Amino acid sequence: MTDTPQQNAPTFKLKSITVSLEIADKTYGDGNSGSTQISAWVNDASLDQLPDVVDASLDMFLSAWLSVIGAKVMANLLPMKAAELRDVIVKIRKRIAKVREIVREGDAK
């Protein structure tokens, strides 16, 4: 009986990140929609780098969200005062920080 060499396990690499976001009011006859898509190449990141890739994805989501919300506010499609918009931005940033903590906790285990 001859030994057969074990096949190497596949190596997985991350190629890119894409975030698509749509914020819409689908009210019949009076609705509007704003959307964006952001993509980035991550240069063959290994699965060990997944927490960093998730961090980058969260940054991209925040950029997409700020772009769409900002455009809607500027075009008066979203009735929001500056102070209210600042409050919402602070809340979104806090929520994203919590998601980052959860990802890092999972990575530490």
> Domain ranges in the chain?
13-108
- Residue-by-residue DSSP string for the chain: -PPPPPPPPP--EEEEEEEEEEEEE--TTT-EEEEEEEEEEEEEEEGGGHHHHHHHHHHHHHHHHHHHHHHHHHTTSS---HHHHHHHHHHHHHHHHHHHHHHHHHHH-
| pLDDT tens readout for residues 64-93 | 999 999 888 888 888 888 899 999 999 999
pLDDT band at 2 (very low <50, low <70, confident <90, very high): low
